[in-house]
Amino acid sequence: MGTSLRDVAVLAGVSVKTVSNVVNGYAHVAPATRAKVEEALARLDYRPNLSARNLRQGRTGVIALALPELDAPYFAELSRFVIDAAAERRWLVIIEQTDGDLERERQILDGVRDHRVDGLIFSPIAIGADELAARTDDTALVLLGERIHDGPADHVAIDNVRAARDVTEHLIGLGRTRVAALGAQDSSISGTAPLRLAGYRQAMAAHGMPETVATVERYHRADGFAAMTALLERERPDAVFCFNDLLALGAMRAILSSGLRVPGDIALAGLDDIEDGRYSTPTLTTVAPDKNELARIAVDLLKRRIDGRAGYAPQEVRAGYRLMVRESTAAPSPS
Amino acid sequence: MGTSLRDVAVLAGVSVKTVSNVVNGYAHVAPATRAKVEEALARLDYRPNLSARNLRQGRTGVIALALPELDAPYFAELSRFVIDAAAERRWLVIIEQTDGDLERERQILDGVRDHRVDGLIFSPIAIGADELAARTDDTALVLLGERIHDGPADHVAIDNVRAARDVTEHLIGLGRTRVAALGAQDSSISGTAPLRLAGYRQAMAAHGMPETVATVERYHRADGFAAMTALLERERPDAVFCFNDLLALGAMRAILSSGLRVPGDIALAGLDDIEDGRYSTPTLTTVAPDKNELARIAVDLLKRRIDGRAGYAPQEVRAGYRLMVRESTAAPSPS
DNA sequence: AACCCTGTGTACAACGTTGGAACAACGTTG
DNA sequence: CAACGTTGTTCCAACGTTGTACACAGGGTT
């Protein structure tokens, strides 16, 4: 093991507790003593043993971030912000992946593989509100990106319904008449899919337009590709709102491969504002959630939960978003 | 705090150590006793306190993965595999980002923010071999994706030189005559850039072809876009090997925006095989490192370092890769 | 009958840390 | 100058776990 307080204490000629006091910035330490101790600390390159500290005071300084998959760009970008926001609180972040698997989501909720973490930021897909409410583990919890209505935990997300409605309105505003939605899910009850679908429906209803909804299993490019390919055979939409950018990029590939043009033949919009969509050809119209704000709020909520043992009511916080209009929904040019 | 061994022991009417023995699968426990204890364990929903266990054993069960940025797809994809591979060892993974900043790389090397972790998988960019060799921290270390020749630590990577040469040979094999390299770096001494540049040079020299090298600051799409835009004005290459896929996708966007065609006018290849390149239009020819193998080897090496206190010589391991030929270097079709 | 195994269980100490009580040294005050 | 509060430091215990040492029973061997 490395150097302990004891080693430092011996070198500095003081007691272990005095060294501890210096390390923890306790006020009443004589300047001379403090200097001695600090020199010894530096000489021995002391690092606190967090296992011991944690054992003593029940804190680890580590939080967990559980999400479906790290290699989905949206979650990767979000993770970066969460790690940065946590760093400001001097927290470290352990990342766990659920792959959207119900069993693994249950395990996460039940405790991060038996490790004690101070808190958990969780982006669930498969698990339902009832199970969330019934959890026994009492680790501080913040839910991310999903609305468990009147749920048992704090929650941050953008207003998915409104965002979806905005995008759909934008597509309708282009003069398109056959606007399809791509990304509904049969299974996922608690994900964002139902919310985005609701937003799409609101907009379509408001304009008295017929709905076309394509369903997918997951939210990957491959699913977007497959669903769009099918859609091109069944119906021939002239605009498609994909429930996330990965689906949209897969759909874009399908449309272009089939010889049709974007936005000439089909206007296309996504949601998430992942970087790929800013460099695709054409660039992708999308909704940009303020990921930094999402991460920051999540960490702040978690901080409050961890500090305030008091069980106040669960908070529901909305983060901002912006509609980013790009080439994939530009007015058809004569070229 | 949760239930401890003590609570279980009281309920089962045995000593704390006996419960510990049951939990740890110690052989010599009478079946009757074991049954009693196991029932008590279940009744109280016992979870071992890992802080205490770690304090006792001097292990944390947590490793750190330090990389430039999580939101670069290559690193996100790699992280997924590292987390999965670590999970098989029952390790958790803390992720730290350096942004390629020298100072932050130094800090990481010096200890993961004062936390004790069992090991560190580190993908450095800025830091040099000398500093790596001089580090004082004795946490197990495995370097990822970079060759510090005769370095002080275990190391996994693909053969960057050969991979770069393969790609360049492929471009030359298409009959292209003005093959440019995009992605050299002035600063980074220890990154993979010099290796990839060397591979390009070898291939070009072997065919007696003139070199064109474009330099970038970083490895993002924006850098690829800017460098390619500049390249289109200066020279007019008919093939470009970008040192990673992000650069290639940025370059692709620049080429297409300027009205030229890929691969018709310019053939384009990258390296990394990120998912975006499989859905771009055209799809991107690239080198696919076996990321799963990379991650697995890194974790295995770390495991050996952590277990074997013995300081054997640093290992250098190569992971495999494949050239993925896609549309961006297809033979020009008449269309 | 004395012996030594083997199997099963317990008691104790220790990992490194910190909260709190105890205490020593000091200057201030009546 | 004695009583007192303040400041600085030490001592002790405890967080939950596990390695070591040991106690004790029962059974087989001399």
Task: Specify the pLDDT at position B10.
Answer: 94
How many CB atoms lie under 10 A from the CB of residue A234?
11
Amino acid A72 reads A
Tokens of B287: 């080198």
When pLDDT is averaged across residues A250-279 and rounded to a whole number, the result is: 97
**Which of A49, A60, A76 is facing B70, going by the closest CB pair?**
A76
Q: What is the mean pLDDT of residues A195-214?
A: 97
3-state secondary structure of A141: strand
Contacts of B112 (CB under 8 A, 6+ apart): A92, B64, B66, B94, B96, B120, B139
Q: What is the pLDDT of residue B74?
A: 97
At A335, the pLDDT band (50, 70, 90 cuts) reads: very low
- Assigned token pair, B114: 């004062």
Which tens digits make up the pLDDT trace of B11-42?
999 999 999 999 998 888 999 999 999 999 99
**CB atoms near residue B32 (< 10 Å):** 8
Sort out which chain A residues have CB atoms less than 8 A from B281's CB and list them: 252-253, 256-257, 280-281
Task: Give the residue among B197, B166, B183 at the shortest CA–CA distance from B322.
Answer: B166
**Above pLDDT 70, what percent of chain A?**
94
Residue B333: pLDDT over 70: no
Pairing of strands B92-97, B119-122: unpaired
Render pLDDT for B48-79 as a digit per residue (tens, 0 to 9).
Answer: 888 898 889 888 888 999 999 999 999 999 99
Segment among A84-98, A99-113, A152-166, B278-292 with least mean pLDDT: A99-113
B16 CA to D10 C1', in Å?
Answer: 32
Q: Looking at the predicted structure, is the pLDDT value of residue B115 above 80?
A: no
| Residue B150 confidence (pLDDT) | 66
Amino acid at B201: R
pLDDT exceeds 90 at position A27: no
pLDDT digits (tens, 9 = 90+) for B220-246: 999 999 999 999 999 899 999 999 999
Torsion of CA A290, A291, A292, A298, to 10 degrees: 110
Structural domains of chain A, ranges and CATH numbers in brackets: 5-48 (1.10.260.40), 62-158+291-321 (3.40.50.2300), 160-289+323-329 (3.40.50.2300)
Task: Report residue B116's pLDDT band, with 50, 70 and 90 as the boundaries.
Answer: confident
- Give the dihedral of Cα atoms B17, B19, B24, B25; nearest 10 deg: 110
In A, which residues are within 8 Å of B80 by CB distance?
A: 69-71, 97
Q: Is the model's pLDDT at B138 over the cut of 90? A: no
pLDDT at B92 over 90: no
For A120, the token pair is: 């958990």
Which candidate, B98, B62, B66, B88, places its Cα nearest to that of B79? B66
Tokens of A40: 């010894």
Per the CB < 8 Å rule, is A221 touching B279? yes
Which three-class secondary structure string do you get for B51-73?
Answer: HHHHHHHCCCCEEEEEECCCCCH
**What are the residues with a C-beta under 7 Å from any atom of nucleic chain C?**
A 1, 4-6, 16-17, 20, 23-24, 46, 48-49, 52-53, 55-57; B 14-18, 21, 27-30, 32-34, 52, 55-56, 58
Tens of pLDDT, residue by residue over A66-124, are: 999 999 999 999 999 999 999 998 888 999 999 989 999 988 887 666 677 889 999 99
Neighbouring C-alpha atoms within 13 Å toward the C-beta of A41: 17
Calpha distance A198→A166 (Å, rounded):
12
- Band of residue B311 on the pLDDT scale cut at 50, 70, 90: low
Is residue B187 within 8 Å of residue B224, measured between CB atoms? no
B200: exposed, middle or buried (C-beta count within 10 Å: 0-12, 13-18, 19+)?
Answer: buried
Quickly give A19 CA vs D26 C1' distance in Å.
Answer: 54
Which of A59-68, A141-150, A248-257, A286-295 is predicted with the least confidence, judged by mean pLDDT? Answer: A141-150
B282 pLDDT more than 80: yes
pLDDT attached to residue B334: 45
Range name among A141-150, A179-188, A277-286, B72-81 with the lowest pLDDT average: A141-150
Give the C-alpha separation, B265 to B97, whole Å.
38
On average, the pLDDT of chain B sits at 91
User: What's the CA gap between A269 and A261, in Å, rounded?
Assistant: 14
Residue A125's contacts (CB-CB under 8 Å, 6 or more residues apart) are: A68, A98, A100, A105, A146, A188, A190, A191
